[in-house]
Amino acid sequence: MSTISIWFVRAALVHFAIGATTGAWRLAATGGALPPVPLTLRPLHVEGMLVGWVCQLAFGVALWILPFSDRVSSDRRLWVAWGLLNGGIVSVVGAQWGATPALQIVGRSAEVAAGLLVLWVLWPRVRALPARGHG
Amino acid sequence: MPTPARWLIKTALLHLILGFGLALMRAGQVAGLVPGMASTLWLPQLHILTVGWLTQLIFGVAFWLFPSPAPGTQPSARLIWIAYGMLNGGVLLRVGAEPGLIPESLQTWSLAGTAALQWGASLLLVVHFWGRVRPK
């Protein structure tokens, strides 16, 4: 697995652990076994699971497994994308915390930019290879 | 394909069918053909599809695809089976524990139980896979 994929996948696992913890707290709180989750922490579950876990894991695995992965870790666009994605998630969650819509826009913009950078890298790698008997 | 991967992926497929089945049942409730309120099973259906199907499929494929652990750091196979049992037990209990389906007196502990099972499974899966996210 390439170094950049390791960073994406490990960050995804961290988001998964945090998102699962917040989700379990919310669920237990629904029945009254724990105090309610503060509203400000709720995005940790949805944002963390959807963007931090699923999207980030998909990025990491795609960068590793799609054709032509040589030297992918030396591509600066991907390190910038990693920073933008995770910074974006933190900003979106932080925006809820501080009720600051401007930070929400910053975070969402960073996520869009990260997605575009990954698209820029992956687009030319999604192409036909010489046939290998797959029919 | 290793045995835990096959069990995780096949069980994920069963959850997919269960999730679609619940969606069909809820559609019937909205149309008045099936008794009950459609909103009652919305969150369980969402969790069956996101946890039982999507997350379980991801970890099943990852078990098969990810690099082997470094020599001497092989996590116990028991870990993945315990996580498998907790994840599926937690998701299924989630359906049964939904407020409106069981007596109110049982809701607190059944919801706490499903939360604890899914949380424990998640942490065990992270522990198992962390060491496998490495160069081949």
Chain B residues inside the 8 Å CB shell of A73: none
ipTM of this complex: 0.88
Please state the φ and ψ torsions of residue A74, each to the nearest 5 degrees: -90, 0
pLDDT of residue A133: 64
| Minimal C-alpha gap between B23 and chain A (Å) | 21
Chain pair A-B, CB pairs under 8 angstroms: 74
pLDDT of residue A134: 61
Q: Return the sign of the alpha-carbon dihedral for residues A16, B122, B13, B99.
A: negative
- Say yes or no for a CB contact (<8 Å) between B126 and A13: yes
Give the orientation angle of helix B56-65 with respect to helix B104-130, to 10 degrees: 20
Q: What are residue B99's DSSP bridge partners?
A: B102
- Say yes or no for a CB contact (<8 Å) between B133 and A10: yes
pLDDT of residue A25: 94
pTM of the complete model: 0.91
Q: In one letter, which amino acid is B5?
A: A
> Mean pLDDT, consecutive 10-residue segments, chain A of 135 residues?
96 97 92 84 90 97 90 94 97 86 94 97 88 64
Q: Which of B122, B129, B132, B136 to mutate to test the interface with A (most CBs of A within 10 A)?
A: B122
- Say yes or no for a CB contact (<8 Å) between B129 and A65: no
Instruction: Show the tokens assigned to A108.
Output: 């969402």
* Closest residue, chain B, to A28 (C-alpha): B112
The stretch B20-43 carries a mean pLDDT of 91
The stretch B53-72 carries a mean pLDDT of 93
Which residue of B114, B129, B130 is in closest CB contact with A27?
B114
**Within the 87-126 window of chain A, which residues sit less than 8 Å (CB to CB) from chain B?**
none
**Within the 35-64 window of chain A, which residues sit less than 8 Å (CB to CB) from chain B?**
49, 54, 57, 61
Taking the alpha carbons at both ends of chain B, their separation in whole angstroms is 18
Cα–Cα distances in angstroms (integers) from residue B70 to residues B62, B130, B132, in the given order: 16, 11, 7
| Minimal C-alpha gap between B10 and chain A (Å) | 20
DSSP per-residue string spanning B43-64: HHHHHIIIIIIIIHHHHHHHHH
Most confident range (mean pLDDT) of A86-90, B73-77, B96-100 is A86-90
- Say yes or no for a CB contact (<8 Å) between A20 and B135: no
Q: Return the sign of the alpha-carbon dihedral for residues A23, A30, B113, B20.
A: negative
